[in-house]
Amino acid sequence: ISYASLCLGIKNAETLLSSLESKKIILYRNYSHKYILFEGTDLDIQAAMNEAVGKVNDITNIQPVLSKYISLPPVLAKAESYKKGTPRAFKFVISELPIDTEPIGEVDGIVNLIFNENLSLQELQDNSSRQKEAILYAYYKNSAEIKKLLLDIEKSKKVLEENQSDRVAKRELTVIIEHQKKLLNHYLIDNLYSKGSEVIWYWKGKKIDVSSKKDFNTHLSTICADVYPDTPTFKNELVNKHKVSTAIHTAKKSLFAALVQNYNIENLDFAKDKFPAEKTIFITLLKVNGLAAFGKKPSSEITVDNDSSFKAVWGYCNNFLDKAKKEKTNLRGLVEGLSKRPFKLKDGLISLWVPIFLFIKRHDFALFGKDGYIPELTEQTLELISKDPQDYFIKS
Protein backbone atom coordinates (compact mmCIF):
# COMPACT_ATOMS: atom_id res chain seq x y z
CA ILE A 1 0.00 0.00 0.00
CA SER A 2 2.85 2.38 0.88
CA TYR A 3 4.60 1.45 -2.37
CA ALA A 4 1.43 2.12 -4.40
CA SER A 5 0.94 5.48 -2.72
CA LEU A 6 4.53 6.74 -2.80
CA CYS A 7 5.86 5.23 -6.02
CA LEU A 8 2.78 4.80 -8.19
CA GLY A 9 0.79 7.81 -6.99
CA ILE A 10 -2.28 5.70 -6.17
CA LYS A 11 -3.97 7.39 -3.22
CA ASN A 12 -6.75 4.83 -2.57
CA ALA A 13 -4.59 1.68 -2.86
CA GLU A 14 -6.08 0.03 0.23
CA THR A 15 -9.64 0.46 -1.08
CA LEU A 16 -8.68 -0.88 -4.51
CA LEU A 17 -6.95 -3.93 -3.05
CA SER A 18 -9.95 -4.71 -0.84
CA SER A 19 -12.21 -4.44 -3.88
CA LEU A 20 -10.00 -6.79 -5.92
CA GLU A 21 -9.96 -9.27 -3.03
CA SER A 22 -13.76 -9.19 -2.65
CA LYS A 23 -14.12 -9.87 -6.37
CA LYS A 24 -11.65 -12.78 -6.07
CA ILE A 25 -9.23 -11.27 -8.56
CA ILE A 26 -6.31 -11.28 -6.13
CA LEU A 27 -5.56 -13.21 -2.96
CA TYR A 28 -3.42 -12.22 0.02
CA ARG A 29 -1.07 -14.90 1.37
CA ASN A 30 -0.73 -14.39 5.12
CA TYR A 31 2.32 -16.63 5.45
CA SER A 32 4.37 -14.83 2.77
CA HIS A 33 2.81 -11.35 3.21
CA LYS A 34 2.12 -10.76 -0.47
CA TYR A 35 -0.72 -10.69 -3.00
CA ILE A 36 -1.08 -13.19 -5.85
CA LEU A 37 -3.45 -13.47 -8.79
CA PHE A 38 -6.45 -15.57 -7.87
CA GLU A 39 -6.94 -18.38 -10.38
CA GLY A 40 -10.32 -19.47 -9.13
CA THR A 41 -11.45 -21.95 -6.47
CA ASP A 42 -14.60 -22.34 -4.43
CA LEU A 43 -12.57 -23.21 -1.35
CA ASP A 44 -12.06 -20.57 1.30
CA ILE A 45 -8.72 -21.87 2.54
CA GLN A 46 -8.65 -19.87 5.77
CA ALA A 47 -12.19 -20.96 6.68
CA ALA A 48 -11.33 -24.56 5.84
CA MET A 49 -8.25 -24.35 8.08
CA ASN A 50 -10.38 -23.08 10.96
CA GLU A 51 -12.86 -25.92 10.46
CA ALA A 52 -10.03 -28.47 10.41
CA VAL A 53 -9.29 -27.80 14.09
CA GLY A 54 -11.91 -30.34 15.10
CA LYS A 55 -10.69 -32.89 12.56
CA VAL A 56 -7.08 -33.26 13.71
CA ASN A 57 -5.83 -34.47 17.05
CA ASP A 58 -4.42 -31.94 19.47
CA ILE A 59 -0.66 -32.30 19.92
CA THR A 60 -0.18 -33.67 23.42
CA ASN A 61 3.13 -35.41 22.69
CA ILE A 62 5.34 -33.38 20.39
CA GLN A 63 7.94 -36.09 19.71
CA PRO A 64 6.11 -38.34 17.18
CA VAL A 65 4.66 -35.36 15.27
CA LEU A 66 7.91 -33.41 15.15
CA SER A 67 9.89 -36.49 14.11
CA LYS A 68 7.79 -36.70 10.94
CA TYR A 69 9.15 -33.40 9.68
CA ILE A 70 12.61 -33.05 11.24
CA SER A 71 15.48 -35.50 10.89
CA LEU A 72 18.82 -34.57 12.41
CA PRO A 73 21.82 -36.77 11.53
CA PRO A 74 24.33 -37.76 14.24
CA VAL A 75 27.14 -35.31 14.95
CA LEU A 76 30.78 -36.32 15.40
CA ALA A 77 32.70 -34.75 18.29
CA LYS A 78 35.66 -33.82 16.11
CA ALA A 79 38.38 -32.80 18.57
CA GLU A 80 38.00 -35.80 20.88
CA SER A 81 37.66 -38.22 17.96
CA TYR A 82 40.89 -36.91 16.46
CA LYS A 83 42.74 -36.83 19.77
CA LYS A 84 42.13 -40.45 20.77
CA GLY A 85 41.22 -42.08 17.48
CA THR A 86 37.82 -43.23 18.74
CA PRO A 87 34.93 -41.77 16.72
CA ARG A 88 32.45 -40.16 19.12
CA ALA A 89 28.95 -39.73 17.70
CA PHE A 90 26.07 -37.84 19.32
CA LYS A 91 22.51 -38.44 18.22
CA PHE A 92 19.58 -36.04 18.62
CA VAL A 93 16.59 -37.15 20.70
CA ILE A 94 13.34 -35.15 20.86
CA SER A 95 11.29 -35.35 24.06
CA GLU A 96 9.01 -33.38 26.38
CA LEU A 97 10.91 -34.36 29.53
CA PRO A 98 14.66 -34.72 30.14
CA ILE A 99 15.74 -38.22 29.18
CA ASP A 100 17.97 -40.46 31.28
CA THR A 101 19.25 -42.97 28.73
CA GLU A 102 22.62 -44.67 28.51
CA PRO A 103 24.17 -44.26 25.04
CA ILE A 104 24.75 -47.72 23.58
CA GLY A 105 26.33 -49.21 20.47
CA GLU A 106 27.77 -46.71 18.03
CA VAL A 107 26.05 -43.84 19.88
CA ASP A 108 28.39 -42.20 22.40
CA GLY A 109 26.27 -39.27 23.48
CA ILE A 110 22.83 -37.69 23.18
CA VAL A 111 21.69 -34.16 22.42
CA ASN A 112 18.27 -34.03 24.06
CA LEU A 113 15.99 -31.44 22.43
CA ILE A 114 13.24 -30.63 24.94
CA PHE A 115 9.89 -29.07 23.99
CA ASN A 116 7.74 -28.39 27.04
CA GLU A 117 6.60 -24.91 28.04
CA ASN A 118 5.45 -26.34 31.40
CA LEU A 119 8.90 -27.63 32.37
CA SER A 120 10.74 -25.24 34.66
CA LEU A 121 14.37 -24.42 33.99
CA GLN A 122 15.16 -25.31 37.61
CA GLU A 123 13.79 -28.81 37.08
CA LEU A 124 15.86 -29.20 33.93
CA GLN A 125 18.96 -27.89 35.69
CA ASP A 126 18.47 -30.38 38.53
CA ASN A 127 18.13 -33.26 36.06
CA SER A 128 21.25 -32.13 34.27
CA SER A 129 23.28 -31.92 37.49
CA ARG A 130 22.36 -35.53 38.37
CA GLN A 131 23.14 -36.90 34.92
CA LYS A 132 26.20 -39.15 34.68
CA GLU A 133 25.90 -40.07 31.00
CA ALA A 134 27.01 -38.00 28.00
CA ILE A 135 23.73 -36.11 27.55
CA LEU A 136 23.56 -32.45 26.55
CA TYR A 137 20.15 -30.86 27.18
CA ALA A 138 18.67 -28.19 24.89
CA TYR A 139 15.50 -26.43 26.07
CA TYR A 140 13.38 -24.61 23.48
CA LYS A 141 11.79 -21.50 24.97
CA ASN A 142 9.39 -21.23 22.02
CA SER A 143 7.87 -24.70 22.47
CA ALA A 144 4.30 -23.36 22.43
CA GLU A 145 4.95 -21.56 19.14
CA ILE A 146 6.42 -24.71 17.60
CA LYS A 147 3.45 -26.80 18.76
CA LYS A 148 1.08 -24.28 17.17
CA LEU A 149 3.02 -24.47 13.90
CA LEU A 150 2.88 -28.27 13.97
CA LEU A 151 -0.88 -28.09 14.47
CA ASP A 152 -1.14 -25.69 11.52
CA ILE A 153 0.76 -28.17 9.34
CA GLU A 154 -1.56 -30.98 10.38
CA LYS A 155 -4.59 -28.81 9.61
CA SER A 156 -3.20 -27.86 6.20
CA LYS A 157 -2.58 -31.50 5.37
CA LYS A 158 -6.12 -32.38 6.42
CA VAL A 159 -7.63 -29.67 4.18
CA LEU A 160 -5.41 -30.83 1.31
CA GLU A 161 -6.52 -34.41 1.82
CA GLU A 162 -10.17 -33.36 1.59
CA ASN A 163 -9.71 -31.25 -1.58
CA GLN A 164 -7.69 -33.43 -3.93
CA SER A 165 -10.04 -32.72 -6.84
CA ASP A 166 -9.62 -28.93 -6.62
CA ARG A 167 -6.48 -28.26 -8.68
CA VAL A 168 -6.03 -24.63 -7.62
CA ALA A 169 -6.70 -25.29 -3.93
CA LYS A 170 -4.42 -28.32 -4.01
CA ARG A 171 -1.56 -26.27 -5.44
CA GLU A 172 -2.07 -23.42 -2.98
CA LEU A 173 -2.25 -25.77 0.02
CA THR A 174 0.91 -27.55 -1.11
CA VAL A 175 2.72 -24.19 -1.19
CA ILE A 176 1.37 -23.35 2.27
CA ILE A 177 2.56 -26.67 3.72
CA GLU A 178 6.03 -26.27 2.22
CA HIS A 179 6.29 -22.78 3.70
CA GLN A 180 5.19 -24.08 7.11
CA LYS A 181 7.82 -26.84 6.97
CA LYS A 182 10.54 -24.32 6.10
CA LEU A 183 9.45 -22.16 9.02
CA LEU A 184 9.57 -25.20 11.31
CA ASN A 185 13.06 -26.01 10.07
CA HIS A 186 14.08 -22.41 10.83
CA TYR A 187 12.69 -22.59 14.38
CA LEU A 188 14.41 -25.89 15.15
CA ILE A 189 17.62 -26.12 13.17
CA ASP A 190 18.65 -22.67 11.98
CA ASN A 191 18.22 -21.27 15.50
CA LEU A 192 19.83 -24.24 17.23
CA TYR A 193 23.38 -22.88 17.14
CA SER A 194 22.74 -19.17 16.63
CA LYS A 195 23.66 -16.53 19.18
CA GLY A 196 20.71 -15.24 21.19
CA SER A 197 18.49 -18.06 19.95
CA GLU A 198 15.43 -19.53 21.64
CA VAL A 199 17.48 -22.47 22.97
CA ILE A 200 18.97 -22.82 26.46
CA TRP A 201 21.73 -25.41 26.89
CA TYR A 202 22.57 -27.37 30.08
CA TRP A 203 25.46 -29.68 30.89
CA LYS A 204 26.18 -30.96 34.42
CA GLY A 205 23.71 -28.52 35.92
CA LYS A 206 25.30 -25.47 34.34
CA LYS A 207 24.02 -23.27 31.55
CA ILE A 208 26.51 -23.22 28.69
CA ASP A 209 26.89 -20.85 25.78
CA VAL A 210 26.38 -22.16 22.24
CA SER A 211 26.56 -19.40 19.67
CA SER A 212 27.89 -21.34 16.69
CA LYS A 213 28.31 -24.85 15.33
CA LYS A 214 31.96 -24.68 16.36
CA ASP A 215 30.99 -23.91 19.98
CA PHE A 216 28.51 -26.77 19.90
CA ASN A 217 31.08 -29.28 18.62
CA THR A 218 33.68 -28.11 21.13
CA HIS A 219 31.21 -28.80 23.96
CA LEU A 220 30.58 -32.31 22.61
CA SER A 221 34.31 -33.09 22.76
CA THR A 222 34.50 -31.66 26.29
CA ILE A 223 31.62 -33.91 27.34
CA CYS A 224 33.33 -36.99 25.88
CA ALA A 225 36.61 -36.18 27.64
CA ASP A 226 34.72 -35.79 30.93
CA VAL A 227 32.49 -38.88 30.70
CA TYR A 228 35.01 -41.21 29.02
CA PRO A 229 38.35 -40.22 30.62
CA ASP A 230 39.80 -43.75 30.41
CA THR A 231 39.34 -44.18 26.68
CA PRO A 232 42.78 -45.19 25.37
CA THR A 233 44.45 -43.62 22.37
CA PHE A 234 44.21 -46.03 19.45
CA LYS A 235 44.55 -44.45 16.03
CA ASN A 236 43.59 -47.25 13.70
CA GLU A 237 40.42 -46.14 11.94
CA LEU A 238 39.89 -49.53 10.28
CA VAL A 239 39.62 -51.26 13.66
CA ASN A 240 38.52 -48.54 16.08
CA LYS A 241 34.89 -48.41 14.98
CA HIS A 242 31.56 -50.03 15.81
CA LYS A 243 31.46 -52.35 12.79
CA VAL A 244 34.61 -53.47 11.00
CA SER A 245 34.98 -54.64 7.41
CA THR A 246 35.40 -58.20 6.17
CA ALA A 247 39.07 -57.43 5.48
CA ILE A 248 39.64 -56.54 9.14
CA HIS A 249 37.86 -59.71 10.26
CA THR A 250 40.33 -61.64 8.11
CA ALA A 251 43.26 -59.69 9.55
CA LYS A 252 41.98 -60.40 13.06
CA LYS A 253 42.01 -64.15 12.38
CA SER A 254 45.55 -63.89 11.04
CA LEU A 255 46.68 -61.99 14.14
CA PHE A 256 45.13 -64.60 16.44
CA ALA A 257 46.93 -67.33 14.49
CA ALA A 258 50.23 -65.44 14.78
CA LEU A 259 49.73 -65.05 18.54
CA VAL A 260 49.08 -68.74 19.11
CA GLN A 261 51.69 -70.10 16.72
CA ASN A 262 54.50 -67.54 17.14
CA TYR A 263 54.10 -66.06 20.62
CA ASN A 264 57.65 -67.21 21.47
CA ILE A 265 59.14 -65.48 18.43
CA GLU A 266 60.05 -61.81 18.40
CA ASN A 267 57.39 -59.62 16.73
CA LEU A 268 55.34 -62.79 16.17
CA ASP A 269 57.64 -63.59 13.23
CA PHE A 270 56.09 -60.90 11.00
CA ALA A 271 58.23 -60.12 7.95
CA LYS A 272 60.23 -56.93 8.49
CA ASP A 273 59.64 -55.53 5.02
CA LYS A 274 55.91 -56.25 4.75
CA PHE A 275 52.97 -54.58 6.48
CA PRO A 276 49.74 -56.55 6.17
CA ALA A 277 46.72 -55.37 8.20
CA GLU A 278 47.38 -57.86 11.01
CA LYS A 279 50.92 -56.51 11.48
CA THR A 280 49.61 -52.93 11.58
CA ILE A 281 47.15 -53.95 14.31
CA PHE A 282 49.96 -55.70 16.20
CA ILE A 283 52.10 -52.55 16.10
CA THR A 284 49.37 -49.99 16.94
CA LEU A 285 47.62 -52.06 19.61
CA LEU A 286 50.35 -54.14 21.23
CA LYS A 287 53.84 -52.94 20.43
CA VAL A 288 53.36 -49.22 21.13
CA ASN A 289 51.76 -50.10 24.50
CA GLY A 290 54.51 -52.44 25.70
CA LEU A 291 52.49 -55.59 25.08
CA ALA A 292 54.79 -57.03 22.42
CA ALA A 293 57.37 -58.70 24.67
CA PHE A 294 56.85 -61.97 22.84
CA GLY A 295 59.93 -64.10 22.27
CA LYS A 296 61.07 -63.75 25.86
CA LYS A 297 61.21 -66.71 28.20
CA PRO A 298 57.77 -67.86 29.43
CA SER A 299 58.38 -66.55 32.94
CA SER A 300 58.66 -62.99 31.68
CA GLU A 301 55.53 -61.06 32.59
CA ILE A 302 53.89 -59.08 29.84
CA THR A 303 52.25 -55.85 30.95
CA VAL A 304 51.48 -52.41 29.58
CA ASP A 305 53.97 -49.56 29.83
CA ASN A 306 53.46 -47.17 32.73
CA ASP A 307 52.77 -44.32 30.32
CA SER A 308 50.44 -46.33 28.09
CA SER A 309 46.95 -44.93 27.51
CA PHE A 310 45.72 -48.53 27.84
CA LYS A 311 46.79 -48.69 31.50
CA ALA A 312 43.24 -48.12 32.82
CA VAL A 313 41.82 -50.74 30.44
CA TRP A 314 44.57 -53.18 31.44
CA GLY A 315 43.84 -52.59 35.12
CA TYR A 316 40.10 -53.08 34.63
CA CYS A 317 40.67 -56.39 32.85
CA ASN A 318 43.03 -57.58 35.60
CA ASN A 319 40.41 -56.67 38.21
CA PHE A 320 37.92 -58.74 36.24
CA LEU A 321 40.28 -61.72 36.54
CA ASP A 322 40.60 -61.12 40.29
CA LYS A 323 36.81 -61.14 40.70
CA ALA A 324 36.67 -64.42 38.80
CA LYS A 325 38.61 -66.10 41.64
CA LYS A 326 35.39 -66.43 43.62
CA GLU A 327 33.31 -68.16 40.93
CA LYS A 328 33.06 -68.85 37.22
CA THR A 329 32.39 -65.53 35.51
CA ASN A 330 30.86 -64.90 32.10
CA LEU A 331 33.05 -62.95 29.69
CA ARG A 332 30.02 -60.91 28.71
CA GLY A 333 30.59 -58.90 31.88
CA LEU A 334 34.06 -57.90 30.70
CA VAL A 335 32.80 -56.86 27.27
CA GLU A 336 29.90 -54.87 28.72
CA GLY A 337 32.18 -53.08 31.17
CA LEU A 338 34.54 -51.98 28.41
CA SER A 339 31.63 -50.76 26.29
CA LYS A 340 30.42 -48.34 29.00
CA ARG A 341 31.86 -45.29 30.72
CA PRO A 342 34.57 -44.53 31.65
CA PHE A 343 35.90 -46.45 28.62
CA LYS A 344 33.16 -46.76 25.96
CA LEU A 345 35.40 -48.73 23.60
CA LYS A 346 34.13 -49.51 20.13
CA ASP A 347 33.08 -53.07 19.33
CA GLY A 348 35.83 -53.39 16.73
CA LEU A 349 38.50 -52.77 19.38
CA ILE A 350 36.79 -54.86 22.08
CA SER A 351 36.56 -57.88 19.76
CA LEU A 352 40.35 -57.70 19.37
CA TRP A 353 41.38 -56.63 22.84
CA VAL A 354 39.50 -59.21 24.93
CA PRO A 355 40.84 -62.35 23.15
CA ILE A 356 44.38 -60.91 23.06
CA PHE A 357 44.28 -60.00 26.76
CA LEU A 358 43.03 -63.49 27.61
CA PHE A 359 45.82 -65.06 25.57
CA ILE A 360 48.44 -62.94 27.34
CA LYS A 361 46.94 -63.97 30.71
CA ARG A 362 46.14 -67.56 29.67
CA HIS A 363 48.09 -69.07 32.59
CA ASP A 364 46.05 -67.13 35.17
CA PHE A 365 42.61 -68.71 34.62
CA ALA A 366 40.67 -71.71 33.39
CA LEU A 367 38.37 -71.26 30.39
CA PHE A 368 34.98 -72.92 30.06
CA GLY A 369 32.61 -73.10 27.10
CA LYS A 370 29.22 -74.67 26.48
CA ASP A 371 30.79 -78.13 26.51
CA GLY A 372 32.87 -77.61 29.63
CA TYR A 373 36.57 -76.99 30.28
CA ILE A 374 38.75 -75.79 27.40
CA PRO A 375 42.36 -76.85 28.08
CA GLU A 376 44.07 -74.77 25.39
CA LEU A 377 43.55 -71.38 23.75
CA THR A 378 43.74 -72.00 20.02
CA GLU A 379 43.27 -69.39 17.28
CA GLN A 380 39.83 -70.88 16.63
CA THR A 381 38.88 -70.43 20.29
CA LEU A 382 40.10 -66.84 20.25
CA GLU A 383 37.98 -66.15 17.18
CA LEU A 384 34.91 -67.69 18.83
CA ILE A 385 35.48 -65.62 21.98
CA SER A 386 35.72 -62.54 19.77
CA LYS A 387 32.37 -63.34 18.13
CA ASP A 388 30.39 -64.72 21.09
CA PRO A 389 32.00 -63.84 24.45
CA GLN A 390 28.73 -64.61 26.24
CA ASP A 391 29.30 -68.32 25.51
CA TYR A 392 32.46 -68.46 27.65
CA PHE A 393 33.29 -68.38 31.35
CA ILE A 394 36.56 -68.04 33.24
CA LYS A 395 37.65 -69.13 36.73
CA SER A 396 40.88 -67.61 38.03
Q: Which amino acid would we find at residue 387?
A: K
Q: How far apart are the first and last CA of the chain?
A: 88
Check whether residue 202 and residue 284 sit in a common domain.
no
Q: Radius of gyration (Cα) for the chain, nearest Å?
A: 31
Check whether residue 142 and residue 287 sit in a common domain.
no
Residue 139 in domain: yes
Q: Which residues share a beta bridge with 206?
A: 203
CA 99 – CA 82 distance, rounded (Å): 28
Check whether residue 6 and residue 66 sit in a common domain.
no
Check whether residue 220 and residue 294 sit in a common domain.
no
Check whether residue 33 and residue 113 sit in a common domain.
no
Check whether residue 108 and residue 217 sit in a common domain.
yes
Check whether residue 96 and residue 210 sit in a common domain.
yes
Question: Which pLDDT belongs to residue 215?
Answer: 94
Residue 238 in domain: no
Residue 237 in domain: no
CA 285 – CA 309 distance, rounded (Å): 11
Count structural domains, the chain. Answer: 3
Question: Which pLDDT belongs to residue 281?
Answer: 93
b/e code 78-114 from CB counts within 10 Å (16+ = b)? ebbbebbbbbbbbbbbbbbebbeeebeeebbbbbbbb
Assess contact for 4 and 18: CB atoms under 8 A: no
Question: Which pLDDT belongs to residue 56?
Answer: 84
Domain holding 67, by residue range, is 62-150+180-227
Phi and psi angles of residue 366, each rounded to the nearest 5 degrees, phi first: -105, 140
Q: Which residues share a beta bridge with 140?
A: 199
For the chain, how many helices (H) and strands (E)?
A: 15, 12
Check whether residue 202 and residue 312 sit in a common domain.
no
CA 76 – CA 109 distance, rounded (Å): 10
Residue 98 in domain: yes
Residue 221 in domain: yes
Residue 163 in domain: no
Question: Which pLDDT belongs to residue 16?
Answer: 72
Question: Which pLDDT belongs to residue 54?
Answer: 82
Q: What is the mean pLDDT of each run of 10 residues along the chain (396 residues)?
A: 70 72 62 59 76 84 87 95 97 95 96 94 96 97 91 91 83 89 88 84 95 94 98 94 93 94 88 91 90 58 88 97 95 98 97 96 94 94 97 96
Check whether residue 83 and residue 34 sit in a common domain.
no
Report helix, strand or coil for 21. Answer: helix
Question: Which pLDDT belongs to residue 222?
Answer: 98
Check whether residue 12 and residue 127 sit in a common domain.
no
Check whether residue 256 and residue 384 sit in a common domain.
yes
Residue 218 in domain: yes
Check whether residue 208 and residue 136 sit in a common domain.
yes
CA 6 – CA 4 distance, rounded (Å): 6
pTM for this predicted structure: 0.84
Residue 142 in domain: yes
Question: Which pLDDT belongs to residue 295?
Answer: 53
